[in-house]
Amino acid sequence: MCGRFTFEHEWPAFVDLYDLPWDIERGRNTASRFNIAPTQTVLMVHNDGEGRQIAEEARWWLVPFWAKELPKATLFNARVETVDTTPAFRDAFKTRRCLIPASAFYEWTLNQNDGKKDPWHIHLPGDQPFSFAGLWAHNDRLGVTSCTIVTMPAGNPMKTLHDRQPVILKPGVYKDWLDPATPGHMAKELLRENLDDRLEFHRVSRDVNSSKFEGRPLPEVNPL
Task: Provide the annotated active-site residues.
Answer: 2, 107
If DSSP codes are grouped into helix, strand and coil, which group holds residue 131? strand
Quote the CA–CA distance of 105 and 128 in Å, as a whole number.
Answer: 12
What 3-state DSSP class applies to 170?
A: coil
Count CA within 13 A, CB hemisphere, residue 203: 12
Helices (H), the chain: 11-15, 22-25, 87-95, 174-178, 184-190
Taking Cα atoms as reference points, which of 1, 184, 20 lies closest to residue 99?
A: 20
